[in-house]
Structure 1
Amino acid sequence: MTKQAYEFCFCYRRMFKLRMAEPPEDIVSLFNEYSDNGVMTVERLHKFLVEFQGEDKATLEYAQAIFNSLKHHHVFHRRGLHLDAFFRYLFGDLNPPLAPVGVHHDMKAPLAHYFLYTGHNSYLTGNQLSSASSIDPIIKALRSGVRVIELDLWPNSKKNDVEVYHGGTMTSPVELIKCLEAIKENAFYASDYPVIITFEDHLDSFLQAKVAQMVNTTFGNILFPGTDFIEFPSPESLKRKILISTKPPKESGDNIREEETNEQKVKDFTDISALTLGDKSESRNMIKDDEQIQENGMEEEEEEEEAVIPEYKKLISIHAVKQKGGLESLLKGDSKRVARLSLKEQKLETAVRTRATDIIRFTQKNLLRVYPKGTRILSSNYDPFIGWTHGAQMVAFNMQGYGRYLWMMQGMFRANGGCGYLKKPDFLLKNGPNNEVFDPSIKGKVKKTLKIKLYMGDGWHLEFHHTHFNQYSPPDFFTKLQILGVPVDRRKVKTVPIEDQWVPLWNEEFEFQLTVPELALLRIEVRDYNMSRRHDFGGQTCLPISELQGGIRAIPLYNKKGEKYKYVKLLMCIQLIGK
């Protein structure tokens, strides 16, 4: 090897030399406080868990279990933990940021009192125009905790069977029976709480009868029978049940009318002529069809002059309705039965400007489903808090892609044991003494203060190649923290970049004032800083603030697809102060 080559190699190795993770000063001080002569006994560890970490229910046996998981690595005469072992515990999987309490919300209230983990076009593997339809995304959604699956029902080419695909597009079909079987096999993998299947029905009476036979044969006694509810049953009473939601046959009394002309429906597509899906004029026509199909819920549910099929009607337990007079009529709450209403994201945004409190009153008894606008060709999503802060139970998302809004959805439903149902806060369910309801646009009093000290991060060198972020030097990591929730609570902060370190040590403190902590999320994202402003992604997570544990916690990070990294974590101290 020449001298120049040797010097380059030496320099290259020096630049990538890894500084091992070492305990920050706060951790050293804590260890000294709860140890004796450099050793932390099981009793002292238990005291630390109760006093500092706030784990009031932690037992001595639990502390012993933690001790046992570490002792084969760092034990001093079998008497206790060294500092390195204590640090290993704090940075490990046994010290999560969310309380491991499982399902703990009251699950005996009506369905309308919960947020439901809801999918949109659940069968698509990718974009909304040309991707394949498959059972795979349905299985993946159910196994991740999604509780509401959407299927678009269309006749096959011979008009003698039912397929699932996105009509008016180039998406390939999948047989309905395969979708139903996949739902049955995976419905209760992640949760015992009910699965709701929403049908977007484009079938004649012959095929509706065939659907009824398929559904009854596939699900048998786990299918909840069709009915008209005066009040929805509870998730607890519907455990391990499957419910069908779609428009009722015409005889049910719904007066359907078109609210938008086709010209209004395709107005959003004027800027998409640059799509390169073949001929431009053909693409525009296809996109227009896509928008018309996407107008589901109220808009898509047009009546056809078909004979009523009793077997099909008996499937429907959650009725999708649109009454004459549209949204205005529904929000008056005149109906004696409860039902499901669907609105696309823009329509909800428009409605909440003038009817926010009426929408919240509507969602106290009825289900409101919000779905993405048709222009989201690449399966992107919208801000879910537009729906959640106004009581919408079914904020329907495209689960096929990724992005910060989907990360927010995934984070929200990490709460309540990941069962797919979250009890709405009382202020969305009950009116005040003068019959007033919650208004998310009005600033309330600060209820809690969230204090965070971000110490450090570690694990990237085990997860990524050493040239993944920079070819000639370690990454310059910085962390963005954001509070999401009602408008007044939203805030963004970020740390300084730590140059050339695989193990960044920030030691920065932040404070957030929260007026509605019940609906708040803490979003965290790590990036590698570079001068081009294209900061490379280094991990993310979203955490429901209502379930954050206090004390020093290890925060596991996820990749863009929402998959947890095996090694990448942040270490931070969390304090939530207030009533």
Structure 2
Amino acid sequence: MTADGLLKFLEVIQEEAGATIETAEKILNSVKRLQKGFDIDQFFHYLLSDQNNAFNTKVHHDMSAPLAHYFIFTGHNSYLTGNQFSSKSSDKPIVKALKEGVRVIELDLWPNSNKNDIKVCHGRTWTSPVKLIKCLKAIKNNAFVTSKYPVIITFEDHLDANLQAKVAMMVKQTFGDMLFCPESDLNEFPSPECLKGRVMISTKPPKKYSKSGSVIKRHSIKETSFATNGLSSTHGSHHLHADVLEGDDEESTTEYKKLIAICASKLKGSMKNLPSHDHKVTRLSMSEETLKLSINSHGRELIRLTQRSFLRVYPKGSRITSSNYNPFTGWMHGAQMVAFNMQGYGKYLWIMQGMFRANGCCGYLKKPAFLLGDGNYDEVFDPMALPVKKTLKVNIYMGEGWRTDFHFRHFDFCSPPDFYTKVSIVGMPCDCTRAKKTHKIDDQWVPTWNGNEFKFQLRFPELALLRVVVRDHDPAGEDGFGGQTCLPISELKTGFRSVPLYDHRGDKYKNVRLLMGFNFI
């Protein structure tokens, strides 16, 4: 195949409108050695290479809108290496998350045993601590390795005024000019484009005390407590003593407050008061359980809130094993920060990772138009109210790489694996489907399905993912796991495409991949 032949393939079969003869020659030069064109083996090598990827690898969304108009890749308890109760706290999970494109890092701040320094740990558990300064340095050194767009650090603060002052000093010394510290409360958040290379702090402001100097009564500070028609949900109570602020303490608290770019606040009264936050921008937090209670009667208000302010959703407290929840419950109601245990596992983590492979893995995705305007939200959540926008046709041709990445007895002791592939849609409820699967290929390390075809009708392709899982059939027990991926449908390229697969925790296999075909009809 010559450069002219490859160009025709790119234009007609792959539907790459921007392809040029220079594009074709660059591909040829990267694969061939001395020949003037592709032979069949080299063309096959190209089809399964990263050069023939399934979606756009560059940032291409409009990044000039206010920050609240984006879904943001968000971590929960970002310092934990394992479970929520007894695992080790470390800066390593923070580094890993940032390199994967996570843009919101959460740190729980507690006084150490001597009350003279700050430790980061999951309070009132057996998790071991890590020093705050170590976490801050890890963030500084890795914040913009994968993405140049802003990093947001959320503090869950359990400190007195003196230690808050120490935090302020550490943060300023560590990040310097990287910090974005607005001089006054914001009426609208800046855009990701304006905040490139910047670090933002989000936490609740220091407590206010009476000017008379009297001690305010001991009370409970709760991360979130939303009342919904008499129902409430909380995420632990952290009891703090309120101390008198005098002189230097008051000045120290002011320095801490100056750091806050995104102020965390509480909802006053019931969910009906959500629109009252329209006059200022802020961040509200609620558990996954509270979100489910709230959307039944106040889904419209939640969407309206998230057009200007941030909504952060976090895992319920019973997820001790660091499992996760369905992120679409938050996304479909506009929640920008759907916080996940990135050290966790399972299909919901795969969905989160797949979602944020979009837009060049930069950690920011522009929200769909129906979440940003004054549309008819009743139609959005009525599966029969809107027409089908697109039909996605998926073909599965073959796979390779297992023999290289796995031990030859990993799947079956005496024979090669019996692979099959399952595909499904995850997204808005009206688009979700049950898994469809290919036929089983017996005893093959390089299975060939010859274009098994599946079709999916989509009403919200902009908020849908194609979930792909490969398994090894085991007639005597549970089918073995051969890899997975989740592909953002709004990003898919048409034609024959190479689709790399990932392991249980979302780490990419070195060689395992599928050759698939995508077309919209």
d(CA) in 2 for partners of 1:415, 1:326: 36
The partner residue of 2:262 within 290, 303, 318 is: 318
- Deviation string for 1:347-387 (max 9, x for gaps)? 10111111111111111111000000111111110010001
1:406 and 2:349 correspond? yes
Q: Secondary structure at the match of 1:552?
A: strand
Q: Which residue of 1 aligns with 2:399?
A: 457
Q: Secondary structure at the match of 1:489?
A: coil
Q: Which residue of 2 aligns with 1:425?
A: 368
The partner residue of 1:168 within 101, 120, 124 is: 124
The partner residue of 2:30 within 63, 69, 83 is: 69
1:397 and 2:340 correspond? yes
What's the CA shift for 1:216? 1.1
The partner residue of 1:346 within 285, 289, 304 is: 289
Q: What are the residue-to-residue correspondences of 1:57-96 with 2, within 5 Å? A: 57-72=18-33, 78-96=35-53
The 10-residue stretch of structure 1 (61-70 or 519-528) with the greater mean CA deviation from structure 2:
61-70
d(CA) in 2 for partners of 1:438, 1:187: 40
Distance change >3 Å, CA 334–CA 66, structure 1 → 2: closer
Q: State the percentage of identical aligned residues.
A: 58
d(CA) in 2 for partners of 1:252, 1:420: 38
d(CA) in 2 for partners of 1:346, 1:360: 17
1:571 and 2:515 correspond? yes
| Counterpart AA for 1:341 | L
What's the CA shift for 1:440? 3.1
The partner residue of 1:542 within 481, 486, 492 is: 486
Distance change >3 Å, CA 328–CA 465, structure 1 → 2: same
- Deviation string for 1:321-355 (max 9, x for gaps)? 113304332x1234521100001001101111111
The 10-residue stretch of structure 1 (532-541 or 447-456) with the greater mean CA deviation from structure 2:
532-541
| Counterpart AA for 1:70 | V
d(CA) in 2 for partners of 1:149, 1:257: 21
- Structure 2 length as normaliser, TM-score? 0.91
User: 1:250·1:303 contact (CA, 8 Å) conserved in 2?
Assistant: no
Q: What are the residue-to-residue correspondences of 1:500-515 with 2, within 5 Å? A: 500-507=443-450, 508-515=452-459
Tell me which protein shows more strand as a share of its residues.
2
| Counterpart AA for 2:55 | L
d(CA) in 1 for partners of 2:270, 2:321: 30
Q: Which residue of 1 aligns with 2:145?
A: 189
| Counterpart AA for 1:480 | K
The 10-residue stretch of structure 1 (365-374 or 226-235) with the greater mean CA deviation from structure 2:
226-235
What's the CA shift for 1:79? 4.0
What's the CA shift for 1:89? 1.4
The partner residue of 1:378 within 321, 340, 361 is: 321
Q: Which residue of 2 aligns with 1:562?
A: 506
Q: What are the residue-to-residue correspondences of 1:270-285 with 2, within 5 Å? A: none
Structure 1 gaps of 5+ residues are 1-39, 262-266, 269-291
Q: Secondary structure at the match of 2:276?
A: coil
What's the CA shift for 1:61? 1.2
1:470 and 2:412 correspond? yes
d(CA) in 2 for partners of 1:408, 1:436: 24
1:240 and 2:240 correspond? no
User: 2:275·2:304 contact (CA, 8 Å) conserved in 1?
Assistant: no
d(CA) in 2 for partners of 1:163, 1:240: 26
d(CA) in 2 for partners of 1:438, 1:238: 35
Q: Which residue of 1 aligns with 2:271?
A: 327
User: 2:277·2:305 contact (CA, 8 Å) conserved in 1?
Assistant: no
Distance change >3 Å, CA 441–CA 122, structure 1 → 2: farther
d(CA) in 2 for partners of 1:230, 1:501: 60
User: 1:441·1:487 contact (CA, 8 Å) conserved in 2?
Assistant: no
- Structure 1 length as normaliser, TM-score? 0.82
Aligned residues: 497
| Counterpart AA for 2:395 | K
Distance change >3 Å, CA 572–CA 245, structure 1 → 2: same
Distance change >3 Å, CA 257–CA 138, structure 1 → 2: closer
What's the CA shift for 1:256? 9.2
User: 2:278·2:308 contact (CA, 8 Å) conserved in 1?
Assistant: no
Q: Which has the larger radius of gyration?
A: 1
What's the CA shift for 1:99? 2.2
Distance change >3 Å, CA 399–CA 530, structure 1 → 2: same
1:133 and 2:75 correspond? no
The 10-residue stretch of structure 1 (59-68 or 543-552) with the greater mean CA deviation from structure 2:
59-68
| Counterpart AA for 1:224 | F
Q: Which residue of 2 aligns with 1:483?
A: 425
d(CA) in 2 for partners of 1:260, 1:148: 22
The 10-residue stretch of structure 1 (225-234 or 450-459) with the greater mean CA deviation from structure 2:
225-234
Distance change >3 Å, CA 404–CA 205, structure 1 → 2: same
What's the CA shift for 1:83? 2.2
Q: Which residue of 1 aligns with 2:214?
A: none
What's the CA shift for 1:453? 1.0
What's the CA shift for 1:65? 1.4
What's the CA shift for 1:474? 0.9
Q: Which residue of 2 aligns with 1:416?
A: 359
1:144 and 2:100 correspond? yes
Q: What are the residue-to-residue correspondences of 1:29-68 with 2, within 5 Å? A: 40-68=1-29
d(CA) in 1 for partners of 2:151, 2:116: 28
| Counterpart AA for 1:316 | I
d(CA) in 1 for partners of 2:78, 2:398: 38
d(CA) in 1 for partners of 2:442, 2:244: 69
| Counterpart AA for 1:479 | T
User: 2:431·2:458 contact (CA, 8 Å) conserved in 1?
Assistant: yes
What's the CA shift for 1:252? 10
What's the CA shift for 1:561? 2.0
Q: Which residue of 1 aligns with 2:156?
A: 200
What's the CA shift for 1:199? 0.3
d(CA) in 1 for partners of 2:73, 2:373: 22
